[in-house]
């Protein structure tokens, strides 16, 4: 059951993270919100509390290991424990390799890969000690299939796919009972398109999302289902939305 479960959510200031936080809180979950935009987090947290839910928040730069440790500590101090962490923070600055958006490449790796590593490093000791816990992470359909313009972004999402599968296997081998769940969204109508600095790629993606995009609430429903599943139930992967692209 979700009621009284303590869930950390990264990338919680908009899109999938915001929708998930609100849905979990409405079902009795205690949510701990992290993102770089503290003003957005404050408003979301206040909305949740005003609706009778429980939420705390912290400014979170997932590329900073200290921030991830601090939000794990905040969850324990506020609610006494941690039951799950949803590693959702990410950017999607797609572009052809020939555009040489090198700064975008490095930022994508820092947030999409290092951010996941920092989150897991911060929470894994606790989960191992209590022999329970759930790690959920947002990959992408670009982590299942190669798409032009998504070499770097897709590469980070392939990493998430492999990393989460190994986490699941090692947990089973070591008897730590840590559940690992990976989400593979397709075109979700969030602020991700705003991270695309290449004009041609941005135009193409906006057209794609206008035709195929679905709401972040769809993903929130999937996350909620995965967390709500019985502790002895293994749910490893979800793909949500179309996996084809018109090129």
State the catalytic residues. Answer: 153
- How far apart (Å, rounded) are the C-alpha atoms in residues 226 and 56? 22
Q: What share of the chain is helix, strand, coil (3-state, %, to 5)?
A: 55, 15, 30
What distances in angstroms separate CA 61 from CA 66, 70, 169, 182, one per listed residue?
Answer: 9, 11, 28, 21
* CA-based torsion, 40, 194, 239, 109: positive or negative: negative
Round to whole Å and give the CA distance between 26 and 107. Answer: 34
Q: The tokens of 46 are what?
A: 């206040």
């Amino acid at each position: 059951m979700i009621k009284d479960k303590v869930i950390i959510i990264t990338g919680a200031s908009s899109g999938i993270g915001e929708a998930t936080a609100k849905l979990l809180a409405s079902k009795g979950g205690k949510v701990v919100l992290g993102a770089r935009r503290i003003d957005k987090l404050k408003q979301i947290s206040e909305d949740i509390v005003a609706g009778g839910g429980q939420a705390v928040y912290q400014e979170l730069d997932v590329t900073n290991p200290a921030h991830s440790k601090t939000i794990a500590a905040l969850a324990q101090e506020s609610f006494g424990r941690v039951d799950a962490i949803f590693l959702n923070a990410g950017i999607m600055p797609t572009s052809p390799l020939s555009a040489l958006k090198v700064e975008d490449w490095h930022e994508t790796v820092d947030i999409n890969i290092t951010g996941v590593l920092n989150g897991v490093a911060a929470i894994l000791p606790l989960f191992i000690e209590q022999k329970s816990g759930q790690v959920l992470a947002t990959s992408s359909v670009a982590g299942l299939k190669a798409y032009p313009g998504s070499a770097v972004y897709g590469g980070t999402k392939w990493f998430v796919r492999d990393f989460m599968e190994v986490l699941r296997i090692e947990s089973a081998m070591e008897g730590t009972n840590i559940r690992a769940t990976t989400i593979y969204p397709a075109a979700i109508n969030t602020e991700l398109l705003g991270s695309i600095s290449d004009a041609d790629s941005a135009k193409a993606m906006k057209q794609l999302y206008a035709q195929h995009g679905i709401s972040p609430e769809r993903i929130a429903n999937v996350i909620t289902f995965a967390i709500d599943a019985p502790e002895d139930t293994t749910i490893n992967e979800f793909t949500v939305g179309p996996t084809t692209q018109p090129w």
